[in-house]
Structure 1
């Protein structure tokens, strides 16, 4: 690749910004063009439902980089630009306004987009989705006069929002369609732990129910459920998950649960790469898709190395995400769609435990950690090693995890 080549990055979220930064760190001297449809200087989304919402972090604290960062590194930041077409033959992209931009190599880093619901009365003021800074600003302003709020969906974002709103003194009710939220990710016991955690902190959780109607004049005043419950509220947060943002298409661009990439971040079209939440990438026995901050950063950094020096750096990342709720820190490592057994280490009653998800060969596929940060490093290493382990050693608190991990080496 020539030092004078133009690299264009579509999406100025976590992956896009870290990709642009890493291209300069890796020595790319050519043009870097970072394009995003949002008009805001690139910002970090996770704090919007946590520290920023509670006032612990101000507006500048959620910026991914100071505005001067882009000029200092000669990164051409183009905001408010919506891309409608990719031409891999001419190596151009076309914006909604009809402008064409040329590139030598292209990275798609469009992230994810919200799932939405259609519920009677959802036009009323006070009903929100949280994805962009503009959403967060509207929510924060509205919440100043709210006493009761409803959150639809008990996933990690909904749970974090419940924690933040309780911290602001608002009465919160969560409505969750399933009996055990996130059971497919963390298992029944950890799911029950989360339900009890919400309830211990004064949040009402309604499971196996769904909101079917909102009532009010111009502003929402009540949410009605399929089970006949009527919940007074002046604000509603819909948090029903996200999907990969694959709005940019081309007949030759392979997509399934994300833009399909190989271990180097290459798509099915030469010189077009993809990174972050919008991708489906190879992991152990097959392709996976995850929507995690840590993955977006590390994937972007690895893929940029391959854009400069093709197929030089395979991506061997262990998925990781964290969640802060009610003063606790939860961490999840690995990726397990199914498991043969779960091993507990520590105490749920003390809110300090680690759960290991093992396959039928006693190999750790994933682990969930509650308030045991010291376990993070050995857990990550054990998952990466992919070797059989003695379940009794995992459960035995008298044996350090570092010692257990070293025994696998």
Structure 2
């Protein structure tokens, strides 16, 4: 028989660490094993593209927890351990080093991996992906002698890197395939603002083009695009998205853009849960997949509660993420794959505005905030209430957001 109440958490990133900590803080008395194939102490990834890259934060400051916390909470932290197989019938777990562990519950918190490109010359020195601490260390060391850098991909990681490198005095060029970066997430209006923001800070942004090869003698010296542009550079950062890590699996486990879980974090296999970026989870009647720090934390905490008290705490989280670029703090609440209209509150010219995304019934589905943190709470409430709203009042900066009239009409399924 397995150790009484043994829970094994696979992945010691944001979700895994918070799941382990929450289990103990919620009163879990059993054994907790926190495994990760990385050999470094669990650390926070977002600062790697911002404060840490500019040497405004040291290694100790980006650790998710002081190492002493794991011992204090009696969490068995197993680093440099790669899981190779799970037997859901015998309830055993095998690792690459030949060890085998028994379990009663498993939490899959395996996170995501970077999408990669296969380009001519991509083996030259000075070409990087940013995912792990080792990547960040290599980039920061290399940047000491870089004057020109190319960033492939204008997603949030690429945009944050562009902001960071530009503030370090490096000439930055972003190359993006689409006409408007992240338009499918934030819409044309916000996307155009992103482009203008970077251009105002001296970043060259090339859209509707793609890097196809690199030239250099041992190290990168030039990036060449499909349209024939030749961009001098001594460093290249590639940020073209991520994919969920779902290689740790069993045959009955349902996977669709991540491990599919219900409102309690349960997978399709009994006693196996999943949390964070590696999951697809129910939100407003649909199954969605997102990769946000805030989601990873809250999802992990909810899963921990449901392991202790099964199906006691449905996950009712409103998606949220943020991004810091130059002097602007961006915040995004909700989740809208499509919308019928947008409402602008404020002015993009002042770098302080909010864009609301509404459906055909004038119900707010999402909100994008630029330098307006005071709108965070009322915007989240508008999304959670799922009631039709007066759009003219919503756009009027003279009416407090919390006082914008709700209209009569049927609401959608609440979050």
Q: TM-score, normalised by structure 2?
A: 0.97
Partner secondary structure for residue 53 of structure 1: coil
Give the SS at the match of 2:53. Answer: helix
Per-residue deviation, 1:285: 2.3
Gaps of at least 5 residues in structure 1 are none
User: What secondary structure does 1:255 align onto?
Assistant: coil
The residue that corresponds to 1:266 in the other structure is: 266
Give, in whole Å, the separation in 1 of the partners of 2:35 and 2:86.
13
- The list of structure 1 runs, each at least 4 consecutive aligned residues, that deviate by more than 4 angstroms after superposition, is 405-409
Give the corresponding residue for 2:24: 24
Q: Secondary structure of the equivalent of 1:192?
A: helix
- Taking the aligned partners of 2:184 and 2:126, their CA distance within structure 1 comes to 31
Q: Distance in 1 between matches of 2:8 and 2:285?
A: 32
Unaligned runs of 5+ in 2: none
Structure 1 38/405 Cα, relative in aligned 2: closer, same or farther at 3 Å? farther
Asked whether 1:383 is paired with 2:383, we answer: yes
Cα distance in structure 1, aligned partners of 2:277 and 2:119? 27
1:378–1:405 Cα contact (<8 Å) kept:
no
Q: Is the 8 A contact 2:390 2:406 kept in 1?
A: no
Q: Which residue is equivalent to 2:310?
A: 310
1:8-407 superposed matches below 5 A: 8-404=8-404
Q: Are the equivalent residues in 2 in contact too, given 1:382–1:405 (CA < 8 A)? A: no
Query: 93-102 or 109-118, which moves further after superposition?
Result: 93-102
Give 1:407 deviation, angstroms: 8.3
Check 1:35–1:405 CA distance in 2 against 1; reply closer, same or farther (3 A cut). farther
Shift of 1:404: 2.2
Query: How much does 1:3 deviate?
Result: 10
- Could you tell me how far 1:316 is from its partner in structure 2? 0.3
Deviation at 1:237, TM superposition (A): 0.2
Equivalent pairs counted in the alignment come to 408
**CA deviation vs aligned residue, 1:11-40 (integer Å, no higher than 9, x gap):** 000000000010011000111000000000
Deviation at 1:64, TM superposition (A): 0.2
Is the Cα contact below 8 Å between 2:4 and 2:104 reproduced in 1? Answer: no
User: 1:319 Cα deviation (Å)?
Assistant: 0.2
Query: In structure 1, what is the Cα distance between the partners aligned to 2:249 and 2:56?
Result: 40
Distance 1:390 1:26 in 2: 42
State whether residues 3 and 29 of structure 1, in contact with CA within 8 Å, keep that contact through their aligned partners in structure 2. no
Q: Distance in 2 between matches of 1:74 and 1:3?
A: 15
Give TM-score scaled by structure 1 length.
0.98
